[in-house]
């Protein structure tokens, strides 16, 4: 679920079973993803913000034949409605403001319409990731800490182009934000998944370096576009110049095995297969 309220920098989600940040370490026993050991950051979920969640979610489902999404009632505390689709073992979320004066609504105004909003990365070691953020001086605007799931939302002023979150899950194949069927394990799901993003930013080279620092990778290639590679996950983040007069944001998502013939522009985002 998209959980961010960036104007509330001290906001924190807690529960009776919350795990203190300091107790989440690399030594905690975790079942592994089926056939995969998570050794580095992996893009696990992308959020699109739209004026009309139902319309955009319906178009995605009709175009790509995705199953019914999960609607998380918890996002109401941020003034949002949402729909979360499983795409392989990654996730595509649509969020929309359900009341005035929300962060999502202001993003829509700055961007000039629907578009990519948030990139959520799964990390194998949350304590190490949070320590790295502190060393980089990146502001954390919201955290959640549960026994099986944790999140760390970053200030978009410090990581340009989108709202970035570093999340941790146990077991690694699970993903609580996608609903009950993904809590504590992973249900049967189709192949494929999200393999990359294109992000419009004012300074592609500087943005790529910053994202690489935050994600703990040195795999940055120059050229056009400037690219950050996540080689362990087989994913690629492309950074391109934002047009004058438009806010920064995610403009394209690539998905392995994308059905429906793509590429298609839905919710202000271009969806394409690996060869699209």
Confidence of residue 103 (pLDDT cuts 50, 70, 90): confident
Measured distance CA(235)–CA(194) in Å, rounded:
8
Q: What is the pLDDT of residues 204-261, one digit of tens each?
A: 999 999 999 999 998 899 888 999 999 999 999 999 999 988 889 999 999 998 877 6
What does the pLDDT average to over 110-136?
96
Residue 217 parent element (H or E): none
> Quick one: pLDDT at residue 36?
54
Measured between alpha carbons, how far is 180 from 76 in angstroms, rounded to an integer? 18
Q: Which CATH number fits domain 40-272: 3.10.180.10, 1.20.840.10, 3.30.365.10, 1.10.599.10?
A: 3.10.180.10
Q: Specify the pTM.
A: 0.87
* pLDDT value, residue 146: 95
Q: Give the model's pLDDT for residue 101.
A: 85
Average pLDDT over residues 1-27: 36
Please give the share of the chain, as a percent, with pLDDT higher than 90.
71
Top pLDDT among 133 and 74 is at 133
Torsion angle (degrees, nearest 10) of CA 46, 50, 52, 58: -40
Cα gap 159→256, rounded to integer Å: 26
Question: What pLDDT was estimated at residue 261?
Answer: 65
Residues 6+ apart with CB under 8 A from 141: 4, 5, 6, 8, 9, 11, 153, 154, 155
Element (H, E) at 246: none
For 204, other C-beta atoms within 10 Å of its C-beta total 22
Of the pLDDT bands very low, low, confident and very high (cuts 50, 70, 90), residue 154 is: very high
Asked if 90 and 44 count as a contact pair (C-beta separation under 8 A), the reply is yes
The predicted structure's pLDDT at residue 37: 76
Residue 166 has pLDDT above 70, yes or no: yes
Q: What is the pLDDT of residues 26-58, one digit of tens each?
A: 332 222 234 457 899 999 999 999 999 999 999
């Amino acid at each position: 679920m998209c959980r961010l309220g960036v104007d509330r920098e001290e906001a924190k989600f807690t529960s009776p079973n919350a795990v203190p940040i300091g107790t989440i370490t690399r030594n905690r026993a975790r079942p592994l993803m089926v056939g995969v050991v998570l050794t580095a950051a992996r893009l696990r979920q992308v959020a699109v913000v739209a004026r009309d969640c139902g319309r955009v979610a319906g178009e995605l489902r009709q175009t790509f034949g995705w199953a019914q999404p999960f609607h998380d009632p918890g996002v109401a505390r941020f003034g949002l409605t949402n729909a979360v689709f499983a795409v392989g073992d990654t996730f595509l979320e649509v969020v929309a403001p359900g009341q005035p004066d929300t962060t999502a609504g202001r993003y829509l105004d700055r961007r000039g319409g629907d578009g990519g909003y948030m990139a959520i990365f799964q990390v194998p070691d949350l304590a190490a990731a949070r320590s790295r953020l502190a060393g980089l001086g990146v502001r954390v605007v919201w955290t959640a800490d549960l026994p099986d799931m944790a999140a760390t939302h970053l200030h978009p002023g410090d990581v340009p182009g989108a709202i970035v979150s570093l999340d941790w899950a146990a077991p690694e194949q699970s993903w609580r934000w996608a609903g009950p069927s993904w809590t504590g394990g992973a249900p049967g799901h189709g192949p494929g998944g999200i393999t990359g993003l294109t992000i419009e930013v004012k300074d592609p080279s500087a943005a790529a370096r910053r994202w690489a620092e935050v994600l703990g990778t040195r795999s940055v290639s120059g050229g056009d576009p400037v690219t950050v590679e996540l080689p362990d996950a087989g994913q690629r983040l492309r950074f391109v110049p934002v047009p004058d007069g438009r806010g920064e944001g995610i403009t394209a998502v690539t998905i392995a095995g994308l059905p429906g013939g793509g590429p298609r522009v839905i919710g202000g985002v271009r969806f394409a297969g690996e060869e699209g």
